[in-house]
Amino acid sequence: GNSVTQMEGPVTLSEEAFLTINCTYTATGYPSLFWYVQYPGEGLQLLLKATKADDKGSNKGFEATYRKETTSFHLEKGSVQVSDSAVYFCALTFYNQGGKLIFGQGTELSVKP
Amino acid sequence: DGGITQSPKYLFRKEGQNVTLSCEQNLNHDAMYWYRQDPGQGLRLIYYSQIVNDFQKGDIAEGYSVSREKKESFPLTVTSAQKNPTAFYLCASSISGSEQFFGPGTRLTVL
């Protein structure tokens, strides 16, 4: 079946450090890929998305590139801030299958001043 | 402002009781979804609905029920048959073929 695997957390970084959160997927076909962010006690917010191979999604300094050959969608940011502390979820969907999201387990990021 | 609202924010239930979680959206989205989140885990799909008066089971539908009588509303009932209902419940909606938007969530605790 379809699945998403993320690197385990928690990830602890100092402010202005470089961030990478790994995400790989297993799927039959070519899904759309997403990164969502969840702040404590809140719902999920869409951070970025990519709908086909080699697409790069970007938002608020975060980037991720859809790599079909490695079935990956790693999240990166060049310089993290304390306000980026949150849980990050990688997810996939097939729109012709009801648009159901399949999530990774989430990666907690903690940024220290 | 357009968005998704969930109520209540916190809900406490005694064992053996049914409870209903509310989800309302004014985004004119066709599709709505319910997910369950447990600590340290990703979200798992409970039920989803692509049109009014129709819905499908997700991966963990046992012990839950839903209705979709109006486009704007997709309430979730957690029944006494759900063995371990304590969790954070998230509702989402989307235009068909586009990304999902999430509500703020309801935290259910069984006493």
Q: Maximum Cα–Cα distance for chain B, whole Å?
A: 40
Expressed in percent and rounded to 5, the helix, strand and coil fractions of chain A are 5, 50, 45
Contact list in A for residue B100 (CB cut-off 8 A) is 46, 99, 101
Structure-token match 């990519």, residue found: A50
Tens digits of per-residue pLDDT, B77-100?
999 988 899 999 999 999 877 889
Nearest to B41 among A41, A91, A105 (CB): A105
Q: Is the peptide bond before B104 cis (omega within 30 degrees of 0)?
A: no
Tens digits of per-residue pLDDT, B51-83?
999 999 999 999 999 999 999 999 999 999 888
Token representation of residue A109: 């990021």
Check residues B40 and B105 and name the one with the higher pLDDT.
B105
Q: What is the pLDDT of residue A9?
A: 87
Residue from B102, B106, B107, B109 whose CB has the most chain A CBs within 10 Å, to mutate: B102
- pLDDT under 50: residue ranges of chain A: none
